[in-house]
Each structure stands twice: as structure tokens, then as C-alpha cells.
Structure 1
Amino acid sequence: MVIAVNPIAPLPADRLLTFLLQAGVLLGTALVLGRLAQRVNLPAVVGELCAGVLLGPSVLGALNLWHGPDVEQMHLLDATGQLGVLLLVGLSGFELDMRLVRKRGATAAKISLGGLLVPLAFGVSAGFLIPLSLLSDEADRTVVALFLGVALCVSAIPVIAKTLLDMNLLHRTVSQLTLTAAVIDDIFGWLMLSVVSAMATTGFRAGTVFGSVLNIAAVVLVAVFVLRPVARVVLRRGSAIAPVTVIILLGAAATQALDIEAVFGAFVCGVVLASVTPRPETLAPLRTVVLTVLAPLYFALAGLRMDLTALADPQVAAVAVGILVLAIGGKFLGAWIGATFSGLTKWEAVACGAGMNARGVIEVIVAMTGLRLGVLNGTAYTTIVLVAIVTSLMAPPLLRRAMDRIEHTAEEQMRRNWPSVSEKKTEIP
């Protein structure tokens, strides 16, 4: 028996044309500004975000030269951008060097603990003190406060690793400790983001939190004991690009179905796949497409949602400056305290604080998640993305100043001559 089904009409020609033009303009501008940023020794993500700022309400919109895409067009661009960010996060999972964590785990854990708890406390406190109208009128105050705490406590392995590599500092012992502490930060950050996101969709209740934690634990267990052996078999046969892409996307879909953020599933899959992929270098073509096409489009879209004209309001500007100061000061102070208690010198502690302050892509992803869930409004979103930009800009000069005052050791010189695994795994800008 044949069942007749009315075919779904394809995307209208005018919509397709508009999508192609908008995607092309956004991506082209992002690539140009991203390369300009790299020319002046800034992370490419800064230029890519600025592309959206230029084309969005902050500049062209304020000049009434462009009003941006409508809701339907924005959804089309969003879908493309989400594909890019999920693959980017999955590939970021390949950056984790768990051997480094095991080797330097105790010292790095103290640095990470300080770098997590202090900014988390600052962010949660600010979330309870700042008028809710400046953060989100719709979300629960507790959820908003917890989300702001998560936004202020995250670090970004890709940005930190790329910054250290570009400055030829990755062989230094304090750099290795900073990178390891950032690994612990990232793992905790994704866990917290998943829990708070679930609370945002189902409400703040003890049962919700407990259920979210159980779901997260179940995802990790399935990934380790089911996905890992299956992936080991699959990845031994032929090219790894297609299987890795499929596994990351399906893992993201699985966690999204459990009311856990899709990026968490992509991240877990990336970590598991990194442990069983026979030849990670075969993923180079996928990295190229993600890093040069899909990710820049995502970050340009993130910048497109920023509205810097809101900062003309003195109250909004004061809150933005306050959050920026708390984000920078909390992360720096926390990492400095952890490093000091670990027995590091004053300048080594300063270097840890400067390095871990770089938020970059992870902060943008957190901000976009909060905006999509309704936990953040446009003003709060703009402020958090500003934190990502400012901290990425300030990390290199502070790191250089601190590292110039730390004496080289024989172990560091040997590590410089024989690059470690972590030095070879720093390709995501």
C-alpha cells in the first residue's frame, strides 16, 4: 500500500538568495577582519566578532544602513552556525591532553579550583545584586545568577593554547600548568553549563538539579563504556572525517534530547574520540573547514547580536563595566591564590592569572546559550561577549610581562627542543 504524502515545499527562491547573500557577506567580512586581527597578533575570534558588530545594530544598524536579517532568515543562519559550533566544540575535545592532567594534576587542580570558585562566587553575587531587568526579565533570579557565575568562571583552552604557542611560551612549566588548569576549568564549565541550562528550561528545583546531574553522569558513562569501544572499531576502517562528524552531531542530539546543552554532548564525544582515533592528523581537512568557514560564521552571528548602543545608558554601562571588572578580577585573583598556595612564585602566579583570564570562544558560546534560553537579555549578552573580547586582548601583554621575569629552567629548555604532545595539539584559534 502506498501512502500519499504532500511534499514539503522547498525554500523559496527569494529566501535562498537572501540567505546566500547574507551568509556570504557575513563570512567574507569575518574572514577579512579575522586575518587583520591575526596580523596584529590578536586572536582571529576578535576580528570575527567585530565583523558582526560592524554589520549589526552597533554600527550599520545605528546608522540606518542595514537592519539585519528577519527572524526566519536568522534561523537559517543560526542553523548553519550551530553546525559549526558543535563541530568546533567536538574538535576542542581533541585538545585535552589527559596525560598532562595526570602528570601535573595536583598543582593544576589547586590553580583551577581558585580560578573557578572565586569568579563563580563573584558572578553569582552579582546576579543577585544587579537589577533583573538588566539581565533577563523572564528567567528565574537564581538561574540567572548561577548562569552569570558560570559565564565568569570559564576559561578557553583553544585561546590559551594558541596564545602560548604564538608567543613561544608553551614549553614553559608555568604555561603547562596554566593549560592543565584550563582543561579542568573547561570540564567543570561544560558540566555547570549543562546543569544550569536544564534548570533554565524546567525550573529551579532540587529534583531538576539532581535529574540533570544523573543525566550528565549517564551521558559520560555511555560515552566511555559504549561509544568508546564502538568508535574504536569504526575509526579503524577508512577515513575518520565522516564518522567523527556523525558521532559528534548525534552525541549533541542525544544530550539536547535530555535537556542538556548540545555542546556538552559534542564536547564529551570529542574527548572520547580523541582517545581512540588512530591518526588524529587525518582530521586536518575537517578542522580546516570548521575553522575557516563554519566557526567564523558562528562568531560573526554572535557579534551581529551585540548592541553596543545600549551602553549609552549610564546604568547599563555601569553594570557592563562592573561585570567586566568582576570577570577579570575574579579569575585573576582566584588563579593567583591557587598558584600561590601551590608554591609558585609571585610572577608565576601572575602568569597563571593572566593566561586563565583568556575566555575567547568558550565565553561566546556560553553567552549565545544564555541568550537562546532566555536566561540573558541583549544587554547582558553584549556584556559577556565583551568580556570574551577584552580578556582575549589583554592576555598576551600581561603574559609577556610576567614570563620575562620568570627564570628558564633546564627542564623547560629540554621541553623546548623536544615539543610535547600538548604543543602539537593547539590548532584551534
Structure 2
Amino acid sequence: MLHPDIRTNADRRDPDAALAEAVSLARALPALEVAGAQVVPSRTVDAGKLFGKGKIDELKALMHNEEIELVLVDGPVSPVQQRNLEKAWGVKLLDRTGLILEIFSDRAATREGVLQVEMAALNYQRTRLVRAWTHLERQRGGLGFVGGPGETQIEADRRAIDEQLVRLRRQLEKVVKTRALHRAARAKVPFQIVALVGYTNAGKSTLFNRLTGAEVMAKDMLFATLDPTMRSLVLPDGPEIILSDTVGFISDLPTELVAAFRATLEEVLAADIIVHVRDISHAESDEQAADVRDILTSLGVDDGIRTFEVWNKLDLLDEDAADALRQRAARDEDTLAISAISGEGLDTLQRAIAEALQGATRVADLTLGFAEGKKRAWLFDQDVVTEEAQTDDGFALKVRWSAKQEAQFQQL
């Protein structure tokens, strides 16, 4: 694993932390064994080979001694650079985009996720056809009726990829329509959506499993969860909600993947509450949080959506550091300090979500006739009934509800 550290880039993150994250990315693929990793300082980027000749020779000797078969470069590598480095080193090479695509391909479970991965991979391959065919004069035979006297192999490959992309887009449109129908069906049910978002490996899936009792893949690896998972959850003394676990965000996510996975994050756009889960024990937790906020903004998430910032993994900190964070979080009603592993703070988090969803509540007295069973059932489904007594004419109820619930009741 190589991380190019370009000295002219004043805005770069700490190179050692970036390298550690890249190694975690590589370890997310079971088929890979990371033999070594290093930051490669460089004043400039060589347009043809990325690194200078001396560094290339030095790395070649290292790879030969370690019997390296695959080199991962944590950053963008042009098709020409990739071809030249593979030739110089005698190995296969993947850049950051290629590695993330491999992980996404390994993780995708739903039909939509698989289609999106295939589309992103094809778009990536389309730009790198120069690797396979370096001689543009290579012609595919033909009678010349289409495309002149013939077409280059690159043109033929690119046309084949474009045709496959058209087919995938059609399939994806059908899947997205089906998801839209499911969302429309959920909209008719008075369940509000709470979306968990956060940097990859922040502990979203562990929190999701702890709250819902589900068995979503939750491992200490990047991109453990790729496809969104949704489960119903009844909050203590509160409403029933739909909790959504989403794919983890990451810095410098390739633009092809942001576009490809926009549909996967549709549940975030439809959320009533966003819970931003942070790994507060991570050395670059603040930078990761900024990356998440930037991606949410790029997705078009409304600033008006109530967002809770949840500082997870208190269990990984010493008691003094954890206590200091608890005190800081207590000063902001939208910040909570928790541990999804130990369960600390989860009751407080659920109460905060319930209060935010219900808004200001008030008590009301209702009288329902025996024939109004549908309305009575709805009130109990909403968990707003605090007292009930049967009368000669029906039922006398005392309810505590929000203005939204009262308006919904009036429509029954």
C-alpha cells in the first residue's frame, strides 16, 4: 500500500492517518493480505509514472524482495501512469477508486446495489481502455458500412461498454421505481424515518443492531455495510419509527461512486431525523465529521432536518477522556455521548429522538362511539392513549399527542 504525499498540497490530511485508513480499506477485502505500507513523499507528480525514477527503482527492489503481486495506491492514478508503473514493477496496480469499487462489488447485496456497482465499474473501465490497447491503429475488421473503413479496438470496447451501461440504467430505473413504490406505501403508514449516517466504521451498524435486535453485518472494517437496511423500532414511551442504516461515507469518495450511490442514500433525503454517528475515539474524528457534512450537503439534504450528533465508542477511551466528552456533550441538546458496545447513553438517545419526533405534546380528552373502532385502533397504534374508560355510549380516552398526530387523527 502506497500513499503519495504531495508536498505542494497544503490542504492534505495527515499522511500517516490517511495511510492507516487506506490499509483498513485494503483489509476490508478478505482476499488481500497487506504485506506493507508506506507514505511516499513527493514534491511533484510525474505525469507519466507518478513517482520519480529513483523512487520507482527503490520500490521495485522492495516489491521483488517481498514477492508483492498487487500494489495499491491511495489516490488517483491515471491510465498512463498505471500502465507504466505496472510495466516497471511487473505487478498489478489498483488506485483508490479501483480498490473501493472492488470492496463495493464484494459487499453489494441488494439488486440496486449490484447494478450501481456494475455501472460505476464500467464508467471507471471506460476511462482506462488505454491500458489494454496502446496502439490506436489496431483495427477491427468489417465491411466499412458502419463507422468508416473500420474502428479501433478501443472504440469497439467503448461502444460495448456504452451499450451495457444503457441496459444497466434501464434495469436500475425499474428497481428505483419499485423502491419509490415501497416508500409511497410507507408514507401512508404514520411511521417516521430516522437515518443513521456517518463515516465508514463509525459504529452505525453496531448501533443499529443494538437498537433493533437485527443482525446487520457489523465488523471492524471499512464499508462493512453497503446497502441500506431498514427496521421498525418502538421507542421507549414514544412512537414506532423506521430506523435506516446506510453505507458509510469516506473522504475523497470518487465522484463516479457518489453519483452511483445517490439512490442508495435516498432514505437519508426522506428522513425526519438524521443521527450522525461519529467514532469519537478516532484521531481524525473532526475531519471525518466534516467529510460527512460535506457529502450530506452535496446530496441535497435539507438544513432544516433535525440532526443529532452521536459521539460513539466511549468504551475505547480512558475514563478521564470519556468523562470530559460526556460533559461537553451535555452542554448541547443535539449532541449525545454513547457506546453502542456497552449500551451507555442509548436510552437517552432514544428519548431524545422520541421527543424530537413528537415535538411539543399536549393532553386532550376524547370520546369515541363503539362504531369508531378504526379511530380507537389508530390512537393505540400511535401509543398516545394514557387513560381509557368504557362508557354507556363508547369510550372516554385521555391522549397525549403532537399537533401532527392530532391533524392526522382529524383526517380519519
In the superposition, the TM-score normalised over structure 1's length comes to 0.23
Which structure features the higher share of helix residues?
A: 1
Bigger fraction of residues in strand: 2
Report 1 or 2 for greater relative contact order, CA contacts < 8 Å, sequence distance ≥ 6.
1
TM-score under structure 2 normalisation? 0.24
Which of these two proteins has the greater Rg computed from alpha carbons?
Answer: 2
